[in-house]
Amino acid sequence: MGAKWGKAVICLSAALILLGGCGGSNERPRMRFGAFFGSPTGMKFPDPDDLGRHNYKSTRGEANGMIYTCKGGFIDLGHVREAADRTAHLQKVTYRSIIQNKTEFSFRSIEPSRYWVKLSYPANWNSLSKEKKEKIADEVSISIGQYFAHNTLIWHEIITWYGFATLGFFPDKISSFSPEDSYCDLLGTHLGVRALREQKSGYDETMTRLIYHALEQLEVQPAETAHRASEKVHGKWYSGGMYFMVDMKKRNFDVGLDDGFITPWLVEGTCPNTTPQLCSSPNLDILSQYGFGMELELEPRIMEKHKIYRDIGLDKNSMIRPAVDFPKIMKQIEKEFQGVKNEG
C-alpha cells in the first residue's frame, strides 16, 4: 500500500504501507501489512502456493496480501498472522500470571489501550503440585489468550471506526469493519491456538504449516481468481479509490458477539454452490471446568474515547467492560452506518 508522490506523499505511502502493519516491541506482536479495497496502489494477490514462512519477530520471509477461498471468501493474510500472534503473546502473559498466582494483572496488545484482568483460582489451587499447576495453566491460558486476542481485535475495528489513526497520520476508518477483517481475525486466533498446542517444531514453523492447511480446507483459489473476485465487488462493496476517495458501501459488523460465529462473505458466482464455513468465537467454558473466575476491563488511552463513551452513555471515569459494552458500541456503529447510507 502507499504511493510515491514527493516528500509529503512519501509519508502517506509509509502510513498506508504500515496501516495494519507496524512493528511493536520484541515481546508484543507486530502489526502486518494490511490489504484493503481501494488501496491507492492496488491490491496485492500472493500465490497461495508460495506464502513464505510465518515470522513472529519480523516481516522477513512472509508473503502477505489478499487471497480468495471458496468457503471463507477473501482472506487477508496479514490479519490472519497478526491475530495468531496476538493469541500467542496473550497466552504467554496469562500463563506467566497464573504461575505467579497473580489475582490481578494488565496487558497491552498493539493499540494504545490497557486491559485489566482480575483472576480467581480454584479452591484447591495451592494444594496442587507444580506439574499439575503448569499443565492446567497451559490449557487455561491458551483459551484465555484467544479470548483476549479476539477482544483486542474487535477493539481495533471499533476505534478505527471512530477515527483512530494507527500511525498518527491518517484515520483508518476506510478499512474499519472491512468485509473480510473480522473473519480473518477470528480465523487467525484459531490458528494461534492450534500452533500453541501443536508447536513440536516451533511456533513459526507450525503456523506456516497451519496456514497452508487452513487455506486448503477453505478451498483456496489461484491469485487470478482472487483478482477477478475483487473486480466483481467493485461498485457493490465499495466504489472509488485512492484512499480518501473510497466509498465503503458495505461493512461487515459481524464480530461474533450475537450467535457465537462469524460468517464469511462470499463473492457471488466465484465458487457456485458453495456453503460458507463459519468460524466460532472463543469462549471461556474452560474457566468453570477448572474452577477459575475472570473479569476483563479495558482502559482506552485514545482521544476517540470520549465519543465512544458519549455514544453508549458511559461515565468518563468508567472502564469499558468488553462483555457488556462491546455489543452496545457495535449497535451504535451499525446505526450510524445505516444512517449515513440512508442519507447517501
Q: Which domain holds residue 335?
A: 6-343
Contacts of 132 (CB under 8 A, 6+ apart): none
Does residue 58 belong to any structural domain of this protein?
Answer: yes
Does residue 338 belong to any structural domain of this protein?
Answer: yes
Does residue 1 belong to any structural domain of this protein?
Answer: no
pLDDT at 8: 31
Does residue 119 belong to any structural domain of this protein?
Answer: yes
From the list 163, 218, 166, the residue with the least C-alpha distance to 188 is 218
Mean predicted confidence (pLDDT) in 278-307? 97
Does residue 216 belong to any structural domain of this protein?
Answer: yes
pLDDT band, very low/low/confident/very high, at 5 (cuts 50, 70, 90): very low
Task: Count the domains in the chain.
Answer: 1
Does residue 14 belong to any structural domain of this protein?
Answer: yes
Mean per-residue pLDDT of the chain:
89
pLDDT band, very low/low/confident/very high, at 27 (cuts 50, 70, 90): confident
Q: What is the pLDDT of residues 261-273, one digit of tens each?
A: 999 999 999 999 9
pLDDT band, very low/low/confident/very high, at 42 (cuts 50, 70, 90): confident
pLDDT at 171: 79
pLDDT at 343: 58
CB 119 within 8 A of CB 105: yes
In terms of C-beta density within 10 A (0-12 exposed, 13-18 middle, 19 or more buried), how is residue 86 classed? buried
Is pTM, for the whole model, over 0.85? yes
Q: What is the pLDDT of residues 155-214, one digit of tens each?
A: 999 999 999 987 777 778 888 999 999 999 999 999 999 999 997 789 999 999 999 999
Q: What is the pLDDT of residues 65-110, one digit of tens each?
A: 999 999 999 999 999 999 999 999 999 999 999 999 999 999 999 9
Q: What is the pLDDT of residues 233-254, one digit of tens each?
A: 999 999 987 666 888 999 999 9
